[in-house]
């Protein structure tokens, strides 16, 4: 059960959109590191984890904003 007393419910749509933009930008930085052939594989482990985490963040924020292409199954990681 979720403890509703921990939530303020005072975020504006603009704040949520800004967070999505920032998460997308961070995700792109990590993707560039992952794709950079000059970066050794052992230095790509954390950027890969961060990329996947931010991918989930972006999916969830898109769902909250009502993205018609972001289904519940994709947010929950059940759809590729």
Which pLDDT band holds residue 79 (cuts at 50, 70, 90)? confident
Residue 22 in contact with residue 14, Cβ under 8 Å?
no
User: Does residue 34 register a pLDDT over 90?
Assistant: yes
Cβ-based neighbours of 29, under 8 Å, separated by 6 or more: none
Q: Which helix (H) or strand (E) holds 78?
A: none
**Where are any strands of DSSP class E within the chain?**
none
User: Does residue 80 register a pLDDT over 70?
Assistant: no
User: 3-class SS at 42?
Assistant: helix
- For residues 28 and 18, give the distance between their C-alpha atoms in angstroms, rounded to a whole number: 15
In tens, the pLDDT along 5-32 reads 999 999 999 999 999 999 999 999 999 9
- For residues 38 and 15, give the distance between their C-alpha atoms in angstroms, rounded to a whole number: 36
Is the whole-model pTM more than 0.85? yes
């Amino acid at each position: 059960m979720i403890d509703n007393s921990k939530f303020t419910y005072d975020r504006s749509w603009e704040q949520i959109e800004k967070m999505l933009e920032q998460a997308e930008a961070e995700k792109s930085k990590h993707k560039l590191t992952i794709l950079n052939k000059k970066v050794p594989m052992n230095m790509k482990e954390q950027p890969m984890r961060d990329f996947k985490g931010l991918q989930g963040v972006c999916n969830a924020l898109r769902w909250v904003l009502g993205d018609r292409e972001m289904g519940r199954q994709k947010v929950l990681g059940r759809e590729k």
